[in-house]
Amino acid sequence: MARPITIGGAQLGPIQKSEDRQSVVARMIALLEKAHARGCTLAVFPELALTTFFPRWYAEDIGEMDIYFEKEMPSAATQPLFDRARALGIGFYLGYAELATDARGETRRYNTAILVDRTGAIVGKYRKVHLPGHTDYNAALTRQHLEKRYFEPGDLGFPVWRSMDGVMGMCICNDRRWPETWRVMGMQGVELVMLGYNTPTGNQHGGLEPPHQRMFHNHLSIQAGAYQNATWAVAVAKAGVEDGHELMGGSCIVSPQGEIVALASSQDDELIAAECDLDLCTFGKSTIFNFAAHRRPEHYGIITGQTGATPPAEG
C-alpha cells in the first residue's frame, strides 16, 4: 500500500520592517499557486511568516511589539490566504506571533504555528516550547535575540493530529535541535513533522561555528529527528538579508530514513516539493524504532527529572 502526499516547502525571502502583511500574504499566495501547479496538497510556510523577525529589536515596553502579533486567526490580512488555499484544495502550516487572552483575561504572547486542512479549517495549534535567546538588552551583541522577552514558553506540549490522511505534528525553529521534541511526537506515531524557522546565518556568541557548520547543524537536527522517529519532516526558512541581518535558507524535505529529498537553492521566495509516501514510515516504526519492543523508560527518568546537566564529582 501507499499513502502519497505531495508537499511543498514554501520558503520566504526576507520581510523588511516596512513591508505590510498584505504584501507578505500576496507573496504567500503566489507560492500557493506554484504549489498547486506542482500538485501539492499541503504547503509549509516559515516561522513568524507574516512579519520581520522582530525579536532582534529591543523595546522597554513589550507592548510596543504587539503590532507584530495576531489577535485572531484568520485575521482580515490573512483571510485571502485561507480563501485561496481552500479554493486550491491545499492545506498549510503557518507560523506567526499570537496575542492570546487567558481565562483570567490576561494577555499572553506566544510564538505559534497552526495546521490548516484542505477545507480551510484550523485543525491544530502549536506554541513554541524551546525559546532561545535572552530576556534583557545585551549591549555586547550586534543584534538582540529577545524571544524570551516577547514570548512565553508554549503551554500546549507537542500534540499530533490525524489530518489529510496522516498523523501530523508541528514544532518551531529551535525546537528542532532538541531530541525530546521529536521523541514526544514519535511516541504518538507521528508521520509528518512540519516546522518553520528564522535562523541567523552567523553565530555572534563566539566559538567555532562558521556559516557552513550552522547549516550542517540545521540539517543534522532535522535528519536525525526524522530518522530516529521514522517520520517525514518538512523544514522551511525565512531567509535572506532582513533589516540588515542575514537569515539562512536551506529549507528541506527529509524522508523517514533521514535523507534530504528536496532542498532549497536560494535565500528568496522559493517552492520546493516532493511526493511523500507516509507508508514509508512503517518500516522504521516496525523495526529498529519499534518503541514498544525496544524502549527502556525505566532508565530515562533523568530526562524529565531535571534541566541542567550533573556531571560526576571530580576526584
**Whether this model's pTM surpasses 0.85:** yes
Radius of gyration of the chain from Cα atoms? 19
pLDDT in tens, 89-145: 999 999 999 999 999 999 999 999 999 999 999 999 999 999 999 999 999 888 899
Site of grid cell 489577535: 71
- Distance between CA atoms of 139 and 135, rounded to whole angstroms? 13
The residue annotated as part of the active site, out of 40, 70, 125, 173, is 173
* pLDDT at 188 > cutoff 90: yes
Q: Are 156 and 126 in contact (CB under 8 A)?
A: yes
pLDDT in tens, 221-248: 999 999 999 999 999 999 999 999 999 9
| Catalytic residue status for 173 | yes
Q: Is the residue at 310 inside a domain?
A: no
The residue annotated as part of the active site, out of 125, 128, 238, 285, is 128
| Catalytic residue status for 252 | no
**Structural domain that includes position 277:** 4-305
* pLDDT at 280 > cutoff 90: yes
Peptide bond into 80 cis (omega under 30): no
How many domains, the chain? 1
- Distance between CA atoms of 141 and 131, rounded to whole angstroms? 18
The CATH number that applies at residue 261 is 3.60.110.10
Q: Is the residue at 143 inside a domain?
A: yes
Q: Is the residue at 41 inside a domain?
A: yes
Q: Is the residue at 314 inside a domain?
A: no
| Catalytic residue status for 40 | no
